[in-house]
Structure 1
């Protein structure tokens, strides 16, 4: 299997961490989406990463689809609970963490446009989503070590990938001061080899 990814993508990082935690060997293929010879559109009509190319040539895209495929590929260290109620809780954390990433990316893209073409209302709206999302996640985590059922899961991976992305792209957010529960959680995650090895740059 091959994974088309970029170092800065929080969604690709999620897949890379799941593969590492599950001990699944995947050939990592870094790509530049803007390059004219980018192979991404050959495997994902939406032109987005990550894309997992299977051994038979078929491809899977969207990180949520890929991580579920990987989690069911081997029984080692299930990251998505088998219990339906717990699974929904984990998926809810993932959806909120990914949604914060989506909003952050839109805000950053808008702010990178020429100043006379930027829409301040778009930036403000997306920043509001980021702040509300972080506030909700910080409150829900509380003083728990892990997000769901006192067990390391995809919820923690998704949250950690989102926090790593914000640390890279929105360093003005002071996690320790504003969202101390999330700061503590990320520090704990960074002790894991899979997280340390995939730190975004």
Structure 2
């Protein structure tokens, strides 16, 4: 029985895990779940009711995308995505934290704007603007950090690029009004290059 990944195809956090699974050539079963549906079963495996959630062969669950991808990188020697130690490891994990932070802010802004259980009079435009400011700052930092390098960390694909690519892809999916490609063409080139990889092409959010 292969590992099971519980998640939603639209989630950038789930996509990050799916890309890592593909790049590591690991076998798994994808179990789609909508965490907003009243009858979802996510809490059976993750008491927080969040995805992604990785259920291993013995039934033990691992959750939070950062924990999952770190675990997955140890399962196969194919294409190491996270350096084992030192400053190189810290650099990759910092890139991941930056990219995930952009997604976190984007998710909060979207929920404030569209969550059906909140009345329009209860929505805070100031809160939305605060989150959009974090997105702008994160994009600026990613653009400066990438510069003219082929990848975010070193000269080969790493978790840095996967996290950044998933963040950028989700912004294009949910926030097409943010014209980040015009301001940071290097990030656009990186995403376009990543989309040529089967792992990214097969996990485009929908």
Q: 5+ residue gaps in structure 2?
A: none
Q: Is 1:177 aligned with 2:179?
A: no
From 56, 59, 62, the counterpart of 2:61: 59
Contact kept in structure 1, 2:4 and 2:29, CA below 8 Å = yes
Query: Structure 2: how far apart are the matches of 1:147 and 1:73?
Result: 23
Query: Structure 2: how far apart are the matches of 1:89 and 1:151?
Result: 14
Query: Structure 2: how far apart are the matches of 1:35 and 1:101?
Result: 22
Match of 1:107 in 2: 109
Q: Is 1:190 aligned with 2:195?
A: yes
User: What SS does the aligned partner of 1:73 have?
Assistant: coil
Query: Structure 1: how far apart are the matches of 2:90 and 2:41?
Result: 34
Q: CA deviation at 1:84?
A: 1.9
From 57, 60, 72, the counterpart of 1:70: 72
Question: Which portions of structure 1, spanning 4 or more consecutive aligned residues, are displaced by more than 3 angstroms?
Answer: none
Q: CA deviation at 1:34?
A: 2.0
Q: RMSD of aligned C-alpha atoms?
A: 0.9
Deviations 1:89-124 (A, max 9, x none): 000000000000000000011111432111111001
TM-score by structure 1 length?
A: 0.97
Aligned length: 201
Point out the more displaced range, 76-85 or 19-28.
Answer: 76-85
TM-score by structure 2 length?
A: 0.95
Deviations 1:138-184 (A, max 9, x none): 01101111001112100000000000100000001123211111111
Q: 5+ residue gaps in structure 1?
A: none
Contact kept in structure 1, 2:33 and 2:40, CA below 8 Å = yes
Query: Structure 1: how far apart are the matches of 2:100 and 2:181?
Result: 21
Q: CA deviation at 1:83?
A: 3.9
